[in-house]
Each structure stands twice: as structure tokens, then as C-alpha cells.
Amino acid sequence: MWFRKDRAPKEVREGRTSKVPEGLWVKCDSCRQILYNKELARNFKICPKCGFHFRLSAPERLRMLFDDEEWVELDPGLRSSDPLRFRDSKKYRDRLREAEEGVGPSDAIVVGSGTLDGIPVIIGAMEFFFMAGSMGSVVGEKIARACERALADRRPLILVSTSGGARMQEGILSLMQMGKIAAALGRLAEARVPYVSVMADPTTGGVTASYAMLGDLNIAEPNALIGFAGPRVIEQTIRQTLPEGFQRSEFLLEHGMLDLIVDRSEMKATLARCLRLLWDGRPAA
């Protein structure tokens, strides 16, 4: 036989670990390219190969928008009291504790006060990694208080939404936040204080059906999923195949549901230009 293996393969030593640290690389969910994590972070977590926007945490979002990455957090101590004592496969209070320990924020939104390109603003960013960004009573209360603070201080309000919808573990107490926030935004509108809604992937359910679509200006990131029910649920209900790109931000812009689609790297500059057009900082007449 002309082919012969002269040496046996090396044995793998038990307990031997790789010298390459974990977390250095990440795979793009869209183009499947392997990306260097630090390079991705420098690029606003946008894939340099295909432009796919990775999800951001709420603190990352606020650092991206506030000047010098500095802000004062508003109402950081609010936590759900589990009023319904809800339990499915585990207790709701246990889910809340695990989410806070694993993610950091005490609930699915972080609200801060600071400046954006020199403009005093209040910004709320939803935390998708906390129970899929679901809206419960704490989220509703923080947004309502943000509206009241924006009204009292006469500062424009920006809300960045990324959510799976209302939180079922709080039942009607979650759903009532939709009307509560809409009323607070109505008072802001009467005082002619701007409210800008920014929608990231995904923005669905009761969040879309309320404050996410109530902005004086409604902006979305590219290819963000935005809708009430998900496309799979709709297809199963109406028994029809949905159009290509249905419920993506480009589809919504084409059909008049959005005002702008803005790349994340341009978001801060775009918001600053829009606020200067909407707001001069003077008291309402």
C-alpha cells in the first residue's frame, strides 16, 4: 500500500483548555460572518459586512445617545411587587429576580436625564434582555413619570422601544399601562413639548399599540420587526402568505406608518437635527 500513516494522532489531554479567551468573536445573525467583538462595539454593534443591527442593552443605548455617555438615572429603585402572585412553570417573583441578576436593570426600561448634542432631554430605553422587554406596571410607571418630568422641566422626551409586548404575568395591570402612558403623552402634546419615538428590533404587542406609535416623529432602525401580532400568528389566523418584508421597518415606511428609517450610527445626529426643528426650548404660548 503506497499510503501509510507513520505516526499515531496525538492524544487530547484531559483538562486542557484553549488559550483563546471566550467572548472575543461573535457570529452575525444575518450574514453568518465571524466578527471581532471589539470592532463590532466600536461600530455601534452594526455588522460591518452586511449592516445588520445587533440588539443593544438599555445602558448601551443611553451611552450612545447622551453627551459624554453621562446621564442621571430617574427612578432606578422601582420594582414590581408581584401583585397577582402569578405562577406558571415558576413564580413570577423568581423570574424578576433572575432577570435582574442576569441583566442589571431592575425592570425592562431605564430612564435618564441629560443632554443630547447640547439639548436637555429625557430618554427612556427599553431593555429587551429583561423578560423580552415586556411592559409591566413598572415600565408603565417609569414612562408616565418620564412624561411628567419632561412636562415639568420642559425637556423633549425620547423613548427607544424594543419589546415583546405586554407582560402576561401582570394581567390587566400590564394592559392598563397603555392607556396610562397615552394620557401622559397627551398632556405632553397639549403643552407642545416634543416626543420622539424610536423603534428597534423587535417592537411588538401592546408597546406598538400604544406609545411606540404615538410620537410627534416615529423613527425606526433598519429592518426592525414592528407590529402588533407577529407575522407567523397572522399567517396562521388569516391562512394567507404575507408579503415579502411584511412588518419590517422598510415596509412600514413605504405604507406611511413611519416617518424615518435611520441607521444607528446616524441616530444621535438625526435626533439632534429633528429636535432643533421641533423645539426651541421656550415656554408654550
* Together in a domain, 238 and 148: yes
Tens digit of pLDDT for each residue in 111-165? 999 999 999 999 999 999 999 999 999 999 999 999 999 999 999 999 999 999 9
* Together in a domain, 47 and 71: no
* Together in a domain, 110 and 229: yes
The answer to whether position 5 is within a domain reads no
* Together in a domain, 140 and 201: yes
Residue 9: count other Cβ atoms within 10 Å of its Cβ: 6
- Exposure pattern of 59-93 as b/e (b: 16+ CB <10 Å)? bbbbbbbbeeeebeebbeebebebeeeeeeeeebb
The answer to whether position 3 is within a domain reads no
* Together in a domain, 33 and 152: no
* Together in a domain, 186 and 48: no
- Digitized pLDDT (tens) for each residue of the chain, 285 residues in all: 455 555 655 555 555 554 556 678 999 988 999 999 998 988 989 999 999 999 999 999 999 999 999 999 999 989 988 989 999 999 999 999 999 999 999 999 999 999 999 999 999 999 999 999 999 999 999 999 999 999 999 999 999 999 999 999 999 999 999 999 999 999 999 999 999 999 999 999 999 999 999 999 999 999 999 999 888 888 889 898 888 889 999 999 999 999 999 999 999 999 999 999 998 765 544
What DSSP string runs through 194-220?
-EEEEEEEEEEHHHHTTGGG--SEEEE
* Together in a domain, 151 and 71: yes
* Together in a domain, 166 and 253: yes
Domain extent, residue 45, equals: 22-54
Query: Alpha-carbon distance 149 to 147, whole Å?
Result: 5
* Together in a domain, 44 and 104: no
Domain count along the chain: 2
pLDDT exceeding 70 applies to what percent of the chain?
A: 91
